[in-house]
Amino acid sequence: MAKKKQFAVLGLGRFGRNVAITLEVMGHDVLGVDWDDNIVEDLSEDLTHVVNFDIRDERALTQAGIANFDTVVIASSNLEASLMATMLCKEMNIGEIVVKAIDERHAEMARRLGATSIIFSERDTARRLAMHLVSNNAVDYVDIAGDIKVLSLLAPKSIIGKNLIESNLRGLYNVNVIAVTHNGKTIVTPPPTYIFAEGDKVFLIGSPVALTKFEQEI
């Protein structure tokens, strides 16, 4: 089972709130932070831990225990606040600092101040980011339509050496293998006798709940 992680999301606009809520729904510990009392109040029923303070305030970050989090996502649209929070998180030795950048200039400054990842897009990327943050081997997570999603990832150790029937992914997780890339060649709808090998890229289709269950239990 995937290790439960702790995430802090600083800035709860459209992007930040989607990342925070998605991570919490997936079963991880999430702290949401925003300077706006109204936003914090609105999200109090969606997030277990959501607080109000200025993310430029080093003392407030320290009191919130930010240094203890595995990953901090800085999603503020305020350039000064975003850069200051990035610098402070770097000083706290946060292992993974993800910054939503306004533009390339913002991105470059954030990298120099300690950002380990840069995100540019908005709501359509929030769920994909959440999946990447909690996954050890996820390659991509794509919305197709409605409740239909496709997850592509490196074949987990639990299925290597097994064929499609033996892996029983449909029975165990309610997901279906729609393709496998092996040694650079993609096999669409592989036969039931196909044996998964190390390094294979596997494409799974299913609901968000089913794919999340698969990711957490492999």
Query: For residue 147, what is the domain's CATH number?
Result: 3.30.70.1450
Range of 68's domain? 6-133
Count of domains observed in the chain: 2
pTM above 0.95, yes or no: no
Closest CA to 23 of 128, 173, 139: 128
Report the alpha-carbon distance of residue 70 to residue 166 in Å, rounded: 35
| Same domain flag for 117 and 39 | yes
| Same domain flag for 19 and 96 | yes
Task: Evaluate if residue 164 carries a pLDDT over 50.
Answer: yes
Closest CA to 46 of 34, 32, 35: 32
Token pair belonging to 79: 């350039």
Q: How confident is the model at residue 24 (pLDDT cuts 50, 70, 90)?
A: confident
| Same domain flag for 19 and 104 | yes
* Mean model confidence pLDDT for the chain: 87
Residue 1, pLDDT score: 45
Is the Cβ–Cβ distance between 14 and 123 less than 8 Å?
Answer: yes
> Of the candidates 112, 133, 154, which is a domain's last residue?
133
Token pair belonging to 205: 């289709």
Task: Evaluate if residue 217 carries a pLDDT over 90.
Answer: no
Ramachandran bin of 194, using left for φ above 0, alpha for ψ from -120 to 50, beta for the remaining angles? beta
Domain-embedded: residue 1: no
- Angle at which helices 123-134 and 208-217 cross, to 10°: 20
For the segment 93-112, the average pLDDT, to the nearest whole number, is 93
